Structure 1
Amino acid sequence: MSCLIVQADFTLLFETDSPKFEEVSEYLSLFSDLVKTPEHIHTYKITPLSLWNASASGVKSQEIIRFLKKHSKFEIPLKICKDIQMYMNRYGILRLEKNNDSLTLISRDSDIMKRIRKSDSIQPYLLEEIDQYSCRIDLKHRGIIKQELIQLGFPVEDIAGYLSGETLQIQLSDLELRDYQSNAIESFYQGGSKSGGSGLIVLPCGSGKTIVGMGVMSKVNCETLILTTNMTSVKQWKREILTKTNVTEEFIGEYTGELKQVKPITIATYQILTHRKSKVDEFIHMELFKKRDWGLIIYDEVHLLPAPVFRETANIQATRRLGLTATLIREDGREEDVFSLVGPKRFYFPWKKLEQQGWISTVKCYEIRVELSADLEKQYNQTENQKQKYRLACENSLKIDVIEQLIGLHSGTPTLIIGQYIDQLKKISNILKAPLITGQLPQLERERLYSEFKEGKVTLLVVSKVANFAIDLPDAGVAIQVSGSFGSRQEEAQRLGRVLRPKKTNNKAHFYTLITKDTKEQEFALKRQLFLVEQGYQYQILDSNQITKKELLTS
């Protein structure tokens, strides 16, 4: 059944009532980006970067064109087919190889090499012409040349190889890897060849990205620097390495605001790397990249990689680099830098497929629309500042009544209430008499509360955005999102991830977003929900008066 309209501007209109919704949306996500999700028609956009990532992960242009022709209602514009082939062929038309003490940039097309040589942005990095197909480049410009070339529309296949780093034997314990985890590891490592060694693995929260990272470590057997989002994540990585590999504690260092240990395996936060006394001072902790002979750098939650770290990453292109993430989306639009400097997408496994196989929870997603409280309505209408309007809508006091109803419907189920604004969360915490976790809470106290939640001693936690990332709370069965960072799709991914981990008994979960009706918050909610739809989730919209109908929520 035809369900796509392919337009000349590279947008794809997809009818969501198609009986092949899951199959088609899953394949669309391999080579295009979802940009709008009205109720009946979703809009996707094909971009050069989406096609390069598809090409890097093994998808062929002929497959994409065949798929579009099969599902399109109308004849596809000829230009679309030609441009898909052109862009996908561009990945690999240029490659970097190492030749003694320099790099060689090689093109399969002499006209393209001629065009590149004439580029003002490329000329400063070219040492000499070897022949009409190749030229020599200084080793230290390996990163910057890739950044510049992708800006010209020519992503480079980097097969210049990698330094081995200091040897460290790492073995996984008696751990049976899932098929997709083994495939992810091999797609990155590629038998140790020059084609492997850099790139991104895209897997949902709860699917074992940390295990995949350790699997890669056991392949390369070298000293490893792991960069992650926060102290809790540092502790989790350390705990996982100690329990799932042969590495002992004396080989693992924590490099954070509290400790500055540099050991054969060092786990650091992005925050410490980007810490400096003032905006004009140097990032003194960036020296960590040079402290040891690292053979592998793992970027956990790579979509959050801070901008200052890109510069250092450009300087270490001879070190293997693994990016782990649940989403390729960056709020700052620097996806091309991730592609160039960390690497292209090497492996992706659909969220819904993992759900069907029982590796992550089956999640029902709901948007619940709440009326604006009378005490805020006048203030909201009189305020012209759009950020203030958004915050007023987010902090709508009528949401608390809805939270209480939802908790009643899921009585006894481990529940997280997640929000953006501390004042709002404090109020909710006080009314519900539930523990509150924010960035101001000492790390030991956070760990204690997370532990009690896991053990079932605490069944309700109110958490700020500190819980967005890398928090292992496997039994969380309900997440109630009361406010968020505007239209952040990456935040939606992380918050959904809080309830995705498989449950010991009933492997089902519920994800609720409370939205103030007909306000700025509702506008931004549409952007956040793009992520849910990208992963194949369909969310139900309810007015707050409907949540008394238990069958709508717990069926």
Structure 2
Amino acid sequence: MREGRDVEKMEMLNHQGACIVQRDFTILLEVGHPGFETARGQLCMYAELVKTPATFHTYRITPLSLWNAAALGWNSEQVIASLEWVSRWNVSAALIQDIQKMMEQYGKLKLHAGPDHAKIRLISEDQQLLDDLNRMKSISAFRMERTSAHELVFSGEKRGLLKQELTRLGYPVLDYAGYRKGNELSLGWRSNKNGSKSDTYDGEGKAGFSLRPYQKKAVDAFEGGEGIGGSGLLVLPCGAGKTIIGMAVLERLQCECLILTSNTTSVRQWIQEMLDKTTITAEQIGEYSGQKKQVKPVTVATYQILTHRKSKEADFTHIHLLQERNWGLIIYDEVHLLPAPVFRATADIQATRRLGLTATLIREDGCEKDVFSLIGPKLYDMPWKELERQGWIAEVKCQEVRVPFSAELRSAYVQAEGKHQFRLAAENPAKLKVVKRLLERHENAPTLVIGQYLNQLETIAREIDAPLISGSMSQQERMKWFTAFRQGEIRTIVVSKVANFAVDLPDAAVALEISGSFGSRQEEAQRLGRILRPKAGENKAYFYALVSEGSREQDFALNRQMFLVEQGYEYAIVHEQDTPY
């Protein structure tokens, strides 16, 4: 009987539809609709969230969103069927045709290795397409040779740049040209003599390291099938173990590896994790940063060192590191932070396997297509809320606390202009009172106070008697405070933008965001990610965004939260005077 009611309910939801699908590639998703959650789960696979007002969330279908869906195994029929299911009214026939055309472009062009390893073959069943491309000025610059009606041959050195240009023209390429193996490096997982529930055991009864089910799926997705693996992005939330996944890919490939990451703290975390969990020795792994310049079979470097140069006109001093050894794998950690200057160098190393790890594909510089063409498509995407449901990350309660201006500050704000208005709102002194009250409310929980402006952070750190960790602090002192925090010796630390990047603070359960970089969605995701690691007991964490009421900061907060809203997080709006402390 109940099953019959469920079927009837699903048919009713399908008939009503949670979405208004428009001809201009935008989709309006009704927040209060009973089918909201189901529709959102489908839309995020092939459309991008644009804005999140209270009643309708706006999504947009783009070529890139459809190509990433295609890389994950969706075809145009599945996308159209999904749209028709979530739509309140009939989907425009013209929109359906456009979606079919955009998705058909994915895979129309394929790269294969030539008989001469220095050459690459561009192949298509569509002879007219090759004719048209060959006549384009930007493509003719690659000096490709027409060897048959369905094949063009070009120099392998141009592999990355051609992929980049073809993607720009709307024709993403399936790259079957293969990758060099690189220098061999033998490594395995380090056995754990103590054993634990999460350990697996080999044939000799030794306890060893075990991947979580979703981590294994991510590694399998990168490895691919039928020769198409070896280049692409794995998208998982902070705290899901992306470092572990990177190491697992390396363990599968058994080759020398260059790992690029966001800062020196992250470099040393990668090194420590590899020494703890794999058989790689200290002699085999090197740090390449501002402090050290070690090139070893596994080398971990910062993006900053790769983009260092003595002047704007000078060459990048250390970019040669990308080709210093015969790397079999290059891992781009936090790929959403990959500096634009590295793209050119990445175009030159297409014969090396490339793995991008990230919590979000969002880039504030709009270079998503370059990531797609030069690092690879999205090969695996694990929804944040699904990991939460399975207990692998903490359940987070998000609140936006709106803090009023004083009369004096409101007057100054009204008279100010542009960025100065935003800064006045971000540094609103009334936020200090809210911080103190929230610290009292969570007095036994390890807490991060995160902000953008050093003067504001210094004041708050002084008032709450907590250490301030910023970019100017030495790496040694920074690690001292992080260690004290992890060991419970201190309960609260104040952190600047260094908390936006890979920082290992597994015990943080509360985050108070007092200011941020305008409307940066990736920053909001990274900051919430600082508290996602599983917690003992109820496995809950708390994220508070403090925003000046009736200000530009409030408007930017809507954009900042957009990516997390798409992932299923909801921000309860509370006013400072109404907040239950």
2:242 paired residue number: 209
Alignment of 1:185 onto 2:200 = no
Q: 2:131: which partner in 1?
A: 114
Looking at structure 1, the residues matched to 152 and 545 of structure 2 have their Cα atoms a distance apart, in angstroms, of 54
Indicate the residue corresponding to 1:476 in structure 2: 508
Aligned equivalents of 1:23 and 1:359: distance in 2? 22
Q: Are positions 1:301 and 2:334 aligned together? A: yes
Residues 116-135 of structure 1: CA distance to partner in whole angstroms, max 9, x if unpaired? 11111100113311122111
- 2:257 is aligned with what amino acid? T
Residue 89 of structure 1 pairs with residue 104 of structure 2: yes
Compute the displacement of 1:409 (Å): 1.1
Whole-angstrom distance in 2 between the partners of 1:227 and 1:48: 28
Q: Which residue of 2 is the match for residue 553 of structure 1? A: none
Checking the alignment, whether the CA contact within 8 Å between 2:238 and 2:532 is kept in structure 1 is yes
Q: Cα RMSD between the aligned structures?
A: 1.0
Determine helix, strand or coil for the equivalent of 2:393.
coil
Counterpart pick for 1:197 among 230, 240, 252: 230
Asked if 1:406 corresponds to 2:406, the answer is: no
Q: Tell me the matched-pair count.
A: 547
The DSSP-based 3-state class of the residue aligned with 2:177 is coil
Does 2:182 correspond to 1:165? Answer: yes
The Cα shift of 1:164 comes to 0.6
Note if contact 1:200-1:322 (Cα within 8 Å) is conserved in structure 2: yes
Per-residue Cα deviation, 1:147-167 (whole angstroms, up to 9, x for no partner): 111111000011100001000
The answer to whether the aligner puts 1:289 opposite 2:304 as a matched pair is no
1:240 maps to 273
Q: Which residues in structure 2 correspond to 1:2-401 (within 5 Å)? A: 2-99=17-114, 100=116, 101-173=118-190, 174-190=208-224, 193-384=226-417, 386-401=418-433
Which amino acid letter does the alignment assign opposite residue 415 of structure 2? Q
Between the two proteins, what is the percent identity of the paired residues?
53
1:130 aligned partner, one-letter code: T
Cα distance in 2 for residues equivalent to 1:207 and 1:126: 45
Distance 1:118 1:132 in 2: 14
Match of 2:3 in 1: none
| 8 A Cα contact 2:452 2:496, kept in partner | yes
CA shift, 1:381, in A, is 1.3
Contact 1:286-1:312 at 8 Å conserved across structures: yes
Looking at structure 1, the residues matched to 473 and 132 of structure 2 have their Cα atoms a distance apart, in angstroms, of: 56
* Shift of residue 309, structure 1, vs aligned partner: 0.4
Report the alpha carbon displacement of residue 22 of structure 1 after superposing the two structures with TM: 2.5
- Aligned with 2:498 (options 447, 454, 466): 466
Is the 1:105–1:135 contact (alpha carbons within 8 Å) kept by the matching residues of 2? yes
Q: Tell me the CA shift for residue 107 of structure 1.
A: 1.0
Shift of 1:418: 0.3
Question: 2:368 is matched by which residue type in structure 1?
Answer: E
CA contact (8 A) 1:11 1:45 kept: yes
Secondary structure of the 2:128 match is helix
Contact 1:489–1:527, Cα closer than 8 Å, also in 2: yes
Tell me, what secondary structure is at the counterpart of 1:126?
A: coil
Tell me the TM-score normalised to structure 2 length.
0.93
In structure 2, C-alpha distance between the alignment counterparts of 1:265 and 1:327, rounded to whole Å: 26
Deviations 1:167-219, CA, capped at 9 Å, x for gaps: 0012123111111100100100125x530000000000000000000010011
Q: In the alignment, residue 53 of structure 2 is paired with which amino acid? A: P
- In the alignment, the residues of structure 2 paired with residue 181 and residue 89 of structure 1 have an alpha-carbon distance, to the nearest angstrom, of 30
SS in 2 for 1:121: helix
Deviation at 1:374, TM superposition (A): 2.9
Measured after TM superposition, the shift of residue 530 of structure 1 is 0.4
SS at match of 1:470: coil
Q: How far did 1:477 drift?
A: 0.8
C-alpha contact 1:172 1:214 (8 A) present in aligned 2: no
CA contact (8 A) 1:126 1:135 kept: no
Whether contact under 8 Å (1:162, 1:194) holds in the other structure is no
For the 8 Å contact 1:170–1:246, the answer to whether it is kept is: yes
Matches within 5 A, 1:511-522: 511-522=543-554
The 8 Å contact of residues 14 and 42 in structure 1, kept in 2 or not, is answered as: yes
Q: Provide the secondary structure at the position in 2 that maps to 1:474.
A: coil
Structure 1: distance between partners of 2:74 and 2:214: 17
Give, in angstroms, the shift of residue 337 of structure 1: 0.3
Q: Which segments of 5 or more consecutive residues in structure 2 lack a partner in the other structure?
A: 1-12, 191-207
**1:196 alignment partner, SS class:** coil
Q: Does 1:485 align with 2:517?
A: yes
Match of 1:416 in 2: 448
- Judge which range, 86-95 or 333-342, deviates more: 86-95
Moved more, 341-350 or 129-138: 129-138
Higher mean alpha-carbon deviation, 448-457 vs 16-25, is at 16-25
* Mapped partners of 2:456, 2:538: distance in 1: 31
Aligned partners of 1:233 and 1:490: how far apart in 2? 17
> Cα offset for 1:541?
0.5
Alpha carbons 2:391, 2:534 under 8 Å: kept: yes
Conserved in 1, the CA contact under 8 Å of 2:18 and 2:34? no
Counterpart of 2:361 in 1: which secondary structure?
coil
Output one character per residue of 1:456-513: Cα deviation in whole Å (capped at 9) or x when no partner: 1111010000111111111111101000000000001100101111113331001110
- How far does residue 531 in structure 1 lie from its aligned partner after superposition? 1.2
Give the Cα–Cα distance (whole angstroms) in 1 for the partners of residues 340 and 303 of structure 2. Answer: 10
On the 8 A contact 2:398/2:543 being kept in 1, the answer is yes
Instruction: After superposition, give the CA deviation of every residue in 1:365-421 in whole Å (9 maximum; x if it has no partner).
Output: 11111111233222211112x111101100000000111111111111010000000
Unaligned ranges ≥5, structure 1:
551-555
CA distance in 2, matches of 1:175, 1:443: 30
